[in-house]
Amino acid sequence: MLDSSVAFLDDAGIEGADAYAEFVAKHRAHHIASLWRSGSEVRADRPLWDPLATLTFEVTDGDQSYVVNATRRSIEDDRRYQFAPGVLEVGNAEVQIEPYDLRRGLDLQFRPEKLSRVRIDRFLAAVHEVVNQLDAEELEIAFDDADDPTVSIAGMPDATYNDLLARCAKIFDPREELPRVVAFLRDNRGADGLLALRVRRQVAALSA
């Protein structure tokens, strides 16, 4: 019978344990401290999936916090980690939409007919108005943006969606245009649709 308290390492775990043992042996004469991640925020100058991205995050030893910059000059090099006393400060989040994609999507909804630019402009203004009323902290996050670690994606809340519907009823013709606009909104209100809300957090490294 296997002891449930025993942890079995896979190949990656064994490689990591060997690398750690080698590091400790190499730096035995130096002062070594144990650090662990503090918070989940990351700042990156490229998409996280890019192996050359410079990553900035916060760690702590339990008493002092440090900002870490992890860099790599080429994909063949190991990452280099630079530590400095400090913290990552997260500012107020901003809720955004993608107006270009939204405009293009609504335009495609009416092809081969053409929706007037005036109506589309009024529609986008209405979207911005309802989005600007949202509190980023109250949104239900669906997933994070793979290209930008400071951006999370959320669907449009019911109250905001209903407010937008009411505003659209005053913009579009109720017989010819409004039913197609309502269908467009219904199909795109989720986190994977064109009405997806982008919650952008401002992350800054502050020296201690």
pLDDT at residue 3 is higher than 60: no
Q: Write the Ramachandran bin of 37: left for phi over 0, alpha for psi from -120 to 50, otherwise beta.
A: beta
pLDDT at residue 8 is higher than 60: no
Of the listed ranges 39-43, 60-64, 197-201, the one predicted with least confidence: 39-43
> The pTM is what?
0.70
Contact between 103 and 64 under an 8 Å Cβ cutoff? The reply is no
Contact between 66 and 58 under an 8 Å Cβ cutoff? The reply is yes
What is the separation, in whole angstroms, between the first and last Cα of the chain? Answer: 52
> Domain spans of the chain?
11-90, 94-202
Residue showing tokens 């209405």: 126
* CA–CA gap between residue 41 and residue 89 (Å, rounded): 9
